[in-house]
Amino acid sequence: DAGVTQSPTHLIKTRGQQVTLRCSPKSGHDTVSWYQQALGQGPQFIFQYYEEEERQRGNFPDRFSGHQFPNYSSELNVNALLLGDSALYLCASIRAGIYGYTFGSGTRLTVV
Amino acid sequence: GEDVEQSLFLSVREGDSSVINCTYTDSSSTYLYWYKQEPGAGLQLLTYIFSNMDMKQDQRLTVLLNKKDKHLSLRIADTQTGDSAIYFCAESDYGGATNKLIFGTGTLLAVQP
């Protein structure tokens, strides 16, 4: 049973560019959350998608946007990249009745 | 406000017990979690506890919860070198298991052979 899969695993972008990260949730899960983990820090919640709608949002600017597709997969988009956006981006999935999100291995984004 | 705090580093010898501590501030948290992160990897759920429980044991792992002091601990018995990793405690926001997680800064556990 595949867990949460994320792509790409690593990415290097230039300041000002835009990036799209992708996530496929664990089979049977319908809720997807995205987290940003800066080096040496704990993950910070970006937003959560359920039924193709953003349900919760953390303290991130509008440059961060997302989408959930009918098959529950999700994308995270970041516009106008800043050096400070360099981090590990983690996708996590869950469904009602399950305790504890399942996390993917993350996408390491480096902005130069 | 929401805040989860952990000590940054713990070093133990192989075979000893490890105790990782965490304090949280959100009294409405219903679920509390421990996650493990190995270098370059995502987060692996180790265990969780409901706020109406005092203790939960799962093989080598024991979780203790002091709700009055908002203190959570993870005890790893017979610690092995493979347990070396960063351990995060997390609380779920506003009591829902599918709600956002608020993580601590993580505790680096180093197990010496």
Among candidates B42, B97, B98 on the partner chain, residue whose Cβ is nearest the Cβ of A90? B42
DSSP A26: P
The confidence score (pLDDT) of residue B22 equals 95
Which carries the bigger pLDDT value, residue B53 or residue B12? B12
> In which band, very low, low, confident or very high, does the pLDDT at B96 lie, cut at 50, 70 and 90?
low
Q: How far apart are CA A98 and CA B98, in angstroms?
A: 8
pLDDT tens digits, B80-91: 999 999 999 999
Residues of B in contact with A42 (CB under 8 A): 4, 88, 90, 103-106
Residue B3 has pLDDT above 90, yes or no: no
Q: Report phi then psi at B81, rounded to 5.
A: -60, -30
In this prediction, residues A84-101 reach a mean pLDDT of 92
Residue B94 has pLDDT above 80, yes or no: no
Residues 65-104 of B with CB under 8 A from A: 88, 90, 93, 97-104
DSSP B113: -
Question: Exposed, middle or buried, B84 (CB in 10 Å: 0-12/13-18/19+)?
Answer: middle
> In which band, very low, low, confident or very high, does the pLDDT at B29 lie, cut at 50, 70 and 90?
low
In this prediction, residues B89-106 reach a mean pLDDT of 82
Residue B2 has pLDDT above 70, yes or no: no
Q: State the smallest CA–CA distance between residue A54 and chain B in angstroms.
A: 12
The confidence score (pLDDT) of residue A3 equals 93
> In which band, very low, low, confident or very high, does the pLDDT at A1 lie, cut at 50, 70 and 90?
low
CB A30 within 8 A of CB A95: yes
The confidence score (pLDDT) of residue A6 equals 97
Contact status of B19 with chain A (Cβ, < 8 Å): no
Q: How far apart are CA A9 and CA A108, in angstroms?
A: 6
Residue A33 has pLDDT above 60, yes or no: yes
DSSP B60: T
The confidence score (pLDDT) of residue A28 equals 94
**Chain A / chain B CB contacts < 8 angstroms:** 60
Taking an 8 Å Cβ-Cβ cutoff, which residues of chain A contact chain B?
4, 31, 33, 35, 40-45, 48, 50, 56, 58, 90, 92, 94-96, 98-106
Q: Report phi then psi at A83, rounded to 5.
A: -55, -35
Task: Return the residue in A49, A53, A56 with the most chain B beta carbons within 10 A, the one to mutate for interface testing.
Answer: A56
pLDDT tens digits, B35-77: 999 988 889 999 999 888 899 999 999 999 998 899 999 999 9
